[in-house]
Amino acid sequence: MISNQESLNFSPFMALYDIVVPEDNMLRKINELVDFTFILEELKAKYCLDHGCNAVVTTGEKSDGKFLKDLVEKSKKAGMTIDRVIGDTAYSEKDNIQYAKTEEFQLVSKLNPLITQGTRAKEDEFEFNKDAGMYVCKAGHMAIRKARTGKKNQGDNQKDTYYFDIKKCRVCTFHDGCYKEGAKSKTYSVSIKSTEHKEQEAFQNSEEFKEHARSRYKIEAKNSELKHRHGYETASSAGLFGMEIQGATAIFAVNLKRILKLLNEKE
C-alpha cells in the first residue's frame, strides 16, 4: 500500500534503525542528501493506493482467526480501506463472520465443519487448533487422538470425539468439574451439523467467492518467502518483543526487495 507521505502511519519499530545503523554509516549520509519521495510517484502504477496488508506477532497458542479484528483495525489505522479479507478456514469462525457483516466487508474463508457448523458444549473451555486438527483444553493440553462416532445418515448427527491424556487430567489444576474421579478416559465430542452459517455457505458456493479464493496462493507464497528465504521460520531470540523485531525486519527486507524490483521493471 502507498499513501501520501503526509498521511503515513510510521512503524513503531522505527527506533530499530537507530540501534542497527551506526551514526557514521553511509546509509545515514545518503538519507540526508537524497530526497526519496520520488519513489511514491514511481510506484503508484505498481501498488494499490489504499489497499495492502498488516501483520500481528503472537505467541502462537491461539489460532490465526482470533486476530482478525486486530488485523482489520490495525490496517484501518494505517489508512487502508477494507472491503475483503481472504484467509484459510481458521478465519471462518462464527465471531469473524458476524464481525465481517458488521464492518461490511467480505470474508473469503471456507467453512470448517469442526468449527462453524452447529453448537458445541463448553466452547470457552476447548479451542480448535487447525494446524494439529485437534482440540486444546483451557489448561493447554491437546487431544492425543480423535475418532468419528455415530452412524452416518442415521437419526442423530455423527460426532468427532477427541481423547485426552487421562494421566494429565488426573493431576490438572482445572480437573474439578472437568475430570470425573476414577474415569478411565476423558473425551470431548463435537457434533457435525450443516444448519449454521447458511449465508456464508451460500457465499462460499458462489462464483464470486471462488474467484477471490483463487488468489489466496499469493498470500501463502509471500509467507513462504519470509520463512524460507529470510529466516522467519524459526525465532532467532526469546520473547515476544524479539519476535516482533524479527518480524519487522524480515517484512521490511521483503518490501524493500519488492520496491527495487518494481523500480527496475519501470526502467
Q: What is the DSSP string of 152-185?
A: TTSSSPPEEEEEE-HHHHHH-TT-TTTS-TT-S-
pLDDT for residue 35 is more than 70: yes
How many whole angstroms from its chain centre is CA 204? 19
End-to-end CA distance of the chain: 21
Question: In this predicted model, which residue has the larger pLDDT, 141 or 14?
Answer: 141
Global pTM? 0.52
Which residues, listed in sequence order, are joined to residue 93 by a DSSP beta bridge?
A: none
- Is residue 1 a contact partner of residue 80, using CB atoms and an 8 Å limit? yes
pLDDT for residue 16 is more than 70: no
pLDDT for residue 7 is more than 50: no
Q: What percent of the chain has pLDDT over 70?
A: 76
pLDDT for residue 203 is more than 80: yes
128-152 confidence digits (pLDDT tens) = 888 888 999 989 999 999 998 877 6
- β 159-164/186-191 pair status: antiparallel
* pLDDT for 97: 87
* pLDDT for 28: 79
* pLDDT for 43: 62
Cell numbers found for residue 105: 466487508
- Is residue 43 a contact partner of residue 255, using CB atoms and an 8 Å limit? no
- Is residue 61 a contact partner of residue 140, using CB atoms and an 8 Å limit? yes
* pLDDT for 61: 67
Cell 494429565: give the residue: 168
* pLDDT for 2: 42
pLDDT for residue 210 is more than 80: yes
Question: In this predicted model, which residue has the larger pLDDT, 220 or 56?
Answer: 220
Please, how many CA atoms are within 13 Å of residue 168, restricted to the half-sphere of its CB?
Answer: 14
Cell numbers found for residue 136: 486444546
| pLDDT (mean) for 84-99 | 86
156-181 confidence digits (pLDDT tens) = 557 889 999 999 999 998 888 888 88
